[in-house]
Amino acid sequence: MSSWLAKHFLNLLGWQIVGQLPESHRLVLITVPHTSNWDFMYLHLVSKILGVHIRWMGKEELFRGPLGPISRALGGIPVKRSRSTNMVAQMIQAFQEHDELILAVPPAATRSKSDYWRSGFYHIAMGAQVPITMGFLDYQRKRAGFGPSFVPTGDIKADMDKIRAFYADIQGKFPEDKSIIRLKAEDESNKP
């Protein structure tokens, strides 16, 4: 799909693209909120309009049979989800192997409400020494795009406070399904 067609389609739906990706083409792009199957389509359209090739992780089963070529063409990176492998390590290695890699990660990891985000996005960015960029789909205002970036410091609470502040008023398609922006490690660090 051409960027013109993607932009025309989003305009017809009343959506506006806001922000731009940072100059670095090596980053973890968190995609928030993730409450609908439509989120992936909108992310794909935004990436076409801005002329960036966004990659995403998918279970290796999505890359077998007739879905394989489609998943790869849409930017998928197959990962092994068995217990003996480490998805974070696989993605850090992917960053080491590519001069350009924009890895989109929905940190909630589910379209249903959960009490915690998965911390993989944070550990991937720390391990690969790349920034985290805040991508968003605000269904209430029909705005999509990219917010600020920051290099994670290792101070999880301070870094997560930046993330919470940015996403405070952004609404998903189904606001009641928006996951709480919190990592388990934040609670664990408060234990005596």
In 3-state terms the chain splits into helix, strand, coil percentages (rounded to 5) of 40, 20, 40
Q: Using CA atoms, how far apart are residues 19 and 103, in angstroms rounded to an integer?
A: 18
Give me the pLDDT at residue 26, please: 95
pLDDT tens digit sequence for 71-86: 888 888 887 766 555 8
User: What's the token pair of residue 191?
Assistant: 């234990």
Q: Residue with structure tokens 């049979």?
A: 65
Give me the pLDDT at residue 82, please: 64
pLDDT tier for residue 141 given thresholds of 50, 70 and 90: very high
Q: Which of 42-51, 76-85, 94-103, 170-179 has the highest mean pLDDT?
A: 94-103
pLDDT tens digit sequence for 19-52: 877 778 899 999 888 778 788 888 888 888 888 8
- What is the mean pLDDT of the segment spanning 126-144? 94
pLDDT tier for residue 107 given thresholds of 50, 70 and 90: confident
Give me the pLDDT at residue 190, please: 61
Contact assessment for residue 149 and residue 27, using Cβ atoms and an 8 Å cutoff: yes
Q: Using CA atoms, how far apart are residues 103 and 83, in angstroms rounded to an integer?
A: 22
Give percent of the chain above pLDDT 70: 93
Give me the pLDDT at residue 1, please: 57
Contact assessment for residue 100 and residue 25, using Cβ atoms and an 8 Å cutoff: yes
Q: pTM for the full model?
A: 0.87
Between residues 19 and 12, which one has the greater pLDDT? Answer: 12
User: What is the tally of structural domains in the chain?
Assistant: 1
* Residue 32 belongs to domain spanning: 3-189
Lay out the sheet containing 143-150: strands in order across.
16-18, 143-150, 132-138, 26-32, 101-105, 54-59, 76-79
pLDDT tier for residue 53 given thresholds of 50, 70 and 90: confident
